[in-house]
Structures are given as structure tokens and as C-alpha cells.
Structure 1
Amino acid sequence: MKQVALRSDLCKALHIMSNGHSKKEPSRDFIRAQGPAYLAHLLRRLADELVRGGSEWYPEVGVTAPPRTSSTLLALDERGPLGVTEIAALLKQSHPLVIDWCRQLTSLGFIETQTDIRDRRRSIIALTDEGKQEVERLRQALVIMQHASQRLMDEAAPGIFLDLWQLEAALRQQSFINRLRNETGSDREAI
């Protein structure tokens, strides 16, 4: 019991040291204080802020497609009609997520689903004429978004764009679950 209490006290002390405050004082940023274990939370928070900004700005420049669906529109524009599985593989996103995006784009009239004449079990997604016009507006908006994004990265952390791609490549080489299991195996006593 003493060892558990000592470990608990040590954890509290380390937590206070990393935060610079005790539980009674409000944290400047709770998630930041939790450290690198919350990398996914931070990345999601950043992504959500970028998407929120894009969602509010897109209508100002004539784009009505939700920001998260824009890569699907671009893929269909550049590659032509594709199946959902092909889109998911191309974008490296889950099949259910791409289906959700396609539903949104269909409801906006930007894409249509057709039955594959070679395999009637398969559906093919294609841009409509409205979708092609939306892609033109989207491409113009993306020029501005690219400049704003680059300035943000240069201001906050020059080189971070390449660093993020290296992080993604490292995870493709060794998944996070495998990294967690490796840490668990090597540091079992520390837990």
C-alpha cells in the first residue's frame, strides 16, 4: 500500500511540476499540461479549428461544399468517376467516412451515384455539372487557403508541414498500436 501511495504522490508532484500549478489553480491549457500522450487530441483540436474557419469562410468565396468533403471533389475531378473504395484508398480515409462525405455531396447535388455497368454490385461516384462548377470555385478558394495555411505554419513552426508528413509516414511504417505495445513490453514495470 505504501508503494501505491508513494507512486500516486509522485504522479501528483510530477503533474504539478509539469503544469506549474496545483489542482486548486486553473490550468492555462489542460490538454497541453497532459503532455505528448494527448498528441491526437491536439491534432484533432487543430484540425477542428481549421475546418471551422474554412466552413465559415467558404460561403464568403462562393464555396458551399463542407471543407471535409473537398478532397473527394478534387479526387473525382482529377481521376474521373470512382468507387467509394477507390476514393477511400486514394484519400487514405475510412470507407464509412467517405460514404458519409458522398451522402453530403449528393444532397448538395455535386455528385451522383451510378451502377457500374461491368459489375452491377458496385456503385460509381461521379461529379455532376453543379459539382464541376463547385470544383472551379473550390480550386480558386484553395489558392487563398494555401497561402493562409503556409503563413500560419511559417509563423508558428517553420517546416512543420514536412514534419507532419514525416510523422504520417512513420505511422504508416509502424502503426501507433504497435508503438504502444512496444512501449508496454519494454516499460511494463514503470506502469
Structure 2
Amino acid sequence: MKKHIVRNILLIIPGVFAAFMITGFVLLNRLTSVVNHSAGNHPQVLNGTPSGQKALVIYQPSALSDVTEQTVFQIAKGLNKNGYQVTVNHPGRYLSTDLSGYAVVVFGSPVYGGKLSPVLLDYMKNVTLTPSQHVLVFDTGAADTSPELDDAMAALHGGTVTKAKLTTSDNQKEQKAYRLGTDL
């Protein structure tokens, strides 16, 4: 009787292990597919003052939370407070790569597996920036360090570039994001 129970347990363990592995693979695949594909053309505009300049905020949304999106809109509100007309959208082939009409350009991405969104990085590699433009590159994630921002910095050519890391556990991240917008 005991041998029968032990044998059944030994048969069940690999099945449970396989189920966990498959579930993990499916979840990881889902995460990477969201970050590796364009979220679509959904421009949102925050009107500024009539004589104000324009700002563009391009970000890849997160698959797990709305931290990146909240950060983006806090930065946009800060820019808007300073009179900028702010356009917020997602990266993709539908966007122009000539960004010379914007005084400020912001790029943002969540971090998965120590990497920024490939869709955002591909877009960044193809944009045209002028030396007078202010550019902010930020990421959101759990780690306090952000070596992945070096990839973003390498993708850009031109502009005065600032980089920022906003950790998901920081209770002050929304205030910090707003200040980033007002300081640009």
C-alpha cells in the first residue's frame, strides 16, 4: 500500500512541475509580447498656452501595472503647467521620426528582464533631434539602478538628454515625475 502511494506521488510531482513551468512560460511570453509590440496610435493632447511650445511624450505601456502610464501623465501635467502643448502617444511606425517641431521630447518604458521596450528603442534610433531640444529618457521598474537607460542614451542622436529612473516602490514617484515635467 505504501509503495503504491509513493509511486503515485512520484508520478504527480513531475506533472505539477511541468504545469508550473508551462504557466511561467506562458506568463513570460505574454509579458514580452506586450512590451515587444506597439500599443497602437492613440494620441492624447493636453493643450497649453496659445503662445506655448510643444512637447511630445512617447512611452511603451507596462503589461503588469499602470505605473509607467501614471508617470507619463504626471510628466505631461508638469510640462503642461509650464505652458507646453503636450502630445502623449505610443511608439510605432505610424509616428513621424522628425521631431524638430517639439521643444521637449520624452521617452519612457517599463523594464522587463533588465531591458527597455524594443519598440521604443527602435523608434528612438530613427528619430531626428536638434541640439536645442530637451530630451528626457526614463524607465519604471523595481530595481534602484538603471543600466538599461544606457541603451536608450546610445539610441539617441542630438538634443540635451536627461535620464531618470522611477522605481515602482517609491511612494513619491508621482511627485518626482511631475517635477521632471516642470523642470524641463
- Normalised by the length of structure 2, the TM-score is 0.28
Greater strand share, 1 or 2?
Answer: 2
Greater helix share, 1 or 2?
Answer: 1
Q: Which has the larger radius of gyration?
A: 1
Q: Return the structure number with greater relative CO, CA threshold 8 A, min gap 6.
A: 2
- Normalised by the length of structure 1, the TM-score is 0.28
